[in-house]
Structure 1
Amino acid sequence: MRYTNEQISAALLLLKATGSPKQVIDTLGYPSSPMLYHWRDMYPEYYNVPDQKHWKQAPDNLKQYIIKRCLIDGEPVKLVAEEIGYTPSLIYKWIREYRKKGHFSPMKKTTANVEVNPSDIESAEDINTLKAQMLDMQMEIDILKETINVLKKDPGIDQTVLTNREKAVIIDALKNKYSLPALCKKLDLAKSSYYYQEKAIHAEDKYHELRKKIVQLFHDNRDAFGYRKIHTLLHKLGLIISEKVVRRIMKQEALIVKQRRRQKYNSYKGEITPAVENVINRDFHADNPNQKWLTDITEFSIKAGKVYLSPIIDCFDGMPLTWTIGTSPNAELANTMLENAILSLAPGETPIVHSDRGCHYRWPEWIRLITEAGLTRSMSKKGCSPDNSACEGFFGHLKTEMFYGREWDNCRIDEFIQEVDDYMQWYRRDRIKSTLGGLSPLDYRRSIGVSV
């Protein structure tokens, strides 16, 4: 990863102020220790210097003199340490102590006798300047911390691009430590703008009731609906609101449909019987129910074992007509499902039954059931999932909305089978589809007078 000059400068600023590589990494989240040492060595003030001797105790005026040279005059800490005879880590300690307390701890009695040239000792004005410099530096560091930790911004973010609202949030977090005028000046924010944002931030949430309703609808629908479907449900309830508002509220409430990919189950066992023509030919549109059926088998792998689902999907509205669930992808699973589907047909209805080239759809019993019912077989090309994409899409919705992102380690096989069956019932009865005018498959059929 390439770091910007701003990111490098921020890291070196913290290192210079704290003297602790660990604190730099903990605060900024970057870089690694070797990289930080590499950056340090690229600048003269961080070159390695020989071991120095140091006195047991230094007088306060010497400490102030050293801090003045390092911070006000801008001399490198390590070069000053080499000249004076103290270790850099000790000088960093003095800087931290002075920044925190505004003075140094009382000296212990020592036999060391240190002579300091009076002309080198800073005046009262120098001390005030030093304090102001250190306070300004600490403010910059704290603002950087809040930008990273509160606003979740990238460590190299340019603070000039922050919105007024974001600046107001940072000021709120630091106004007990620094004066409001100083913070506003540092962030280039007018006080009037801060007060405006402060009022807006703490204003009563006008979407309070709507927010609760959106959370309820999301959880009532198996945490499976995105903002478009939630918007449709709200519209059906008579709540007219913008999709953008729904999307923003769902983002604020972390209402996210979880997704996870897993290896797809493959039932292909070779060309055990002659394949039939692809009658569907990727045309999944049907003008009436029971014209075109799609089928396939999908696998669920949980800690307790594997579960298989075999449904019939009607191309007319995507409704799962019948399905079987079991622990083995055998002939009984597929054939029982087909028998139940055939029983639901009215006289004269002879749909096309489209599948992939799995072994279940090439065994004699499957072929016999199709033939006796007067149905038409249709098969995808070998290894061509788009030929059965509508059924694959159904499985994708099922696993995204019901299976992925949930913990199944403590679930028994019988409990999981019930979960799958509950989802299939919910899909038929309650799951709305934009292609059906915001109705579920069952409600859509009722609305057009189709018996179910």
Structure 2
Amino acid sequence: VDRDLCRNPDMSFRFIEDHRDAYPVRLMCAVLEVSPAGYYAWRDRPASQRTKSNATLLAAIRQAHHDSSGRYGSPRVHAVLRTQGRGASRGRIERMMRRHGIRAITAPPRRVRTTDSRHDLPIAPNLIARDFTAEAPNRVWLADITYIPTAEGWLYLAAVMDLFSRKIVGWAMRDHMQVELASAALTMAIQQQRPQAGLIHHSDRGVQYASHAYRDALTGAGIVASMSRKADCYDNAPMESFFHTLKTELVHHRDYQTRAEAQRDIFAFIEGFYNRTRLHSA
């Protein structure tokens, strides 16, 4: 037993209070050499300033966690509370969330092949080389495709990310992952952002991005193509991170009966949460 606990009755009583659901109170009192009567008297005292502070902080943590629909863990909850002017440390918030069972929703990933690089189309050089930084918006875009399961079959999502802001500036959803899917996401990004010539567009070597139609669209907008090395997902890590976030924070917690239902949910996630309010670790 920690000697500090035995020398400090308040610390002993706090330990007992924190662990009384796991161990008998009388057993802990005996081990820590304090009396059960002393513990219950301590527990019945008027709330201390620290207790009041903890209660206020816990309420703020629960609110931040609720506002993110359960998606935020301790690092982002800490960031939210810091913007509110609360000075609690990240360690204190982490301990309090763990003690009260407040955790970010997660789920194991599922894998489906969305990249078909078995083609003879031209391959662009890798201009990014895993340097995932940009000096301003619309200097570097990343593009990729993922899938969402529904009772009607797969729904495919093509997305274009601005590397500077990490926002999804273009996206499209279809029941297929042909060239038109990727082209629709690119068209949305170009129409909304109107980038200047010289922007770098980075993607994998999939047939959608290497196709003549897609390359013509890039050339027409003055956009320079860049492609990852073969079968290397780390060359497009920020997009992989976005898809992981989408699935662990939303898709894996839904049971979509129709593609239309999934489309509405994903639209709300991208435009209502991810692009507007989500705190990005980058």
Shorter-chain TM-score tier: 0.7 to 0.9
Could you say if the C-alpha distance between residues 281 and 210 of structure 1 is closer, same or farther in structure 2, counting changes exceeding 3 Å? same
Matches within 5 A, 1:231-310: 231-257=78-104, 258-310=106-158
User: Which of the numbers 215, 218, 222 marks the counterpart of 1:374?
Assistant: 222
1:190 aligns with 2:38: no
In the alignment, which of 314, 322, 331 is matched to residue 162 of structure 2? 314
Residue 424 of structure 1 aligns with which residue? 270
The code of the aligned residue for 1:384 comes to D
Amino acid at match of 2:73: G
Letter paired with 1:229? R
SS of 1:294 mapped into structure 2: strand
Alignment length, in residue pairs? 265
Q: Which of 73, 93, 109 does residue 226 from structure 1 map onto?
A: 73
Specify the alignment match of 1:355 in structure 2: 203
Return the structure number with greater strand share. 2
Return the alpha-carbon distance in structure 2 between the equivalents of residues 297 and 345 of structure 1.
20
1:354–1:377 contact (8 Å) kept in structure 2: yes
Alignment map for 1:23-422 (pairs within 5 Å): 164=12, 165-166=15-16, 169=20, 173=24, 187-192=30-35, 194-199=36-41, 201=43, 204=47, 205-206=51-52, 207-257=54-104, 258-346=106-194, 348-404=196-252, 406-408=253-255, 411-422=257-268
Residues 243 and 271 (structure 1 numbering): CA distance in 2 closer, same or farther, change over 3 Å? same
- Report if aligned partners of 2:138, 2:195 keep a CA contact under 8 Å in 1: no
- Give TM-score, length-normalised by structure 1: 0.53
Equivalent position SS for 1:296: strand
Deviation at 1:189?
Answer: 4.0
* Cα gap change, 1:202 to 1:371, in 2 (>3 Å): farther
Q: Report the residue type matching 2:191 in the other structure.
A: L
Distance change >3 Å, CA 274–CA 423, structure 1 → 2: same
Which structure 2 residue ranges, 5 or more long, are not aligned?
A: 6-11
C-alpha spacing 1:372/1:318, structure 2 compared with 1 (3 Å): same
Percent identity between the two aligned chains: 27
Q: State the distance in 2 between where 1:415 and 1:171 align.
A: 43
**Deviation of 1:236 (Å):** 1.5
Q: How far apart are 1:350 and its partner, in Å?
A: 3.1
Shift of 1:171: 11
**1:113 aligned partner:** none
Distance 1:359 1:351 in 2: 21
SS where residue 208 of structure 1 aligns?
A: helix
Separation in structure 2 between the aligned mates of residue 209 and residue 174 of structure 1, nearest angstrom: 27
- Partner residue in 2 for 1:83: none
* Cα separation, partners in 2 of 1:398 and 1:190, compared to 1, 3 Å: same
Please tell me whether the aligned partners of residues 222 and 402 of structure 1 are also in contact (alpha carbons under 8 angstroms).
Answer: no
Distance 2:254 2:148 in 1: 13
Cα pair distance change 1:348/1:417, threshold 3 Å: closer
Contact 2:169 2:193 in 1 (8 A): no
The structure with the larger Rg is 1
Counterparts of 2:126 and 2:132 in 1: how far apart (Å)?
12
Deviation at 1:339, TM superposition (A): 1.3
Which amino acid in structure 1 is aligned with residue 268 of structure 2?
D
Superposition deviation, residue 213 in structure 1: 2.3
Alpha-carbon distance in structure 2 between the residues aligned to 1:354 and 1:213: 40
Report the 3-state secondary structure (helix = DSSP H, G, I; strand = E; otherwise coil) of the residue aligned with 2:250. Answer: helix
The one-letter amino acid of 1:285's match is: T
Q: Give the 3-state SS of the residue equivalent to 2:274 in structure 1.
A: helix
